[in-house]
């Protein structure tokens, strides 16, 4: 899936909508990043996936033959660490 612009190296979260006809998995990665295995379930579903790396596309490959029929990307955002302060 082509992105509307390049992403700088970071940990990104992608919202992926997909249609699957059986349980299985798919593998996703940014064009310059490591692969992440994502479980899929039958029907029209949504998953949020952390994708480390950079690039101008998200590569999607079905790990289970025939399970995933189509995918569509949604919002993407940078994942930043959050500092939690104890009040005690």
Non-local CB neighbours of 4 within 8 Å, separated by 6+ positions: none
- Taking alpha carbons only, the member of 27, 26, 33, 34 closest to residue 7 is 33
The answer as to whether 64 is a domain residue is: yes
The answer as to whether 86 is a domain residue is: no
Say what the pLDDT of residue 69 is.
62
Say what the pLDDT of residue 83 is.
41
Distance between CA 79 and CA 15 in Å, rounded? 13
Distance between CA 81 and CA 21 in Å, rounded? 36
Range of the domain at 69: 2-78
The residue ranking higher by pLDDT, 74 or 79, is 74
Number of domains in the chain: 1
Q: For 19-30, how does the pLDDT look when each residue is reduced to its tens digit (9 = 90+)?
A: 888 888 999 999
Q: How confident is the model at residue 85 (pLDDT cuts 50, 70, 90)?
A: very low
The answer as to whether 58 is a domain residue is: yes
Strands 24-33 and 68-78: unpaired
The answer as to whether 69 is a domain residue is: yes
């Amino acid at each position: 899936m082509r992105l509307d612009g390049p992403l700088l190296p970071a940990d990104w979260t992608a919202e992926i909508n997909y249609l699957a006809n059986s349980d299985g998995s798919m593998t996703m990665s940014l064009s310059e990043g490591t692969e992440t295995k994502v479980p899929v379930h039958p029907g029209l579903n949504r998953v949020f996936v952390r994708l480390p790396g950079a690039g101008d596309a998200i590569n999607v490959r079905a790990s289970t033959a025939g399970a995933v029929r189509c995918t569509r990307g949604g919002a993407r955002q940078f994942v930043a660490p959050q500092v939690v302060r104890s009040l005690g």
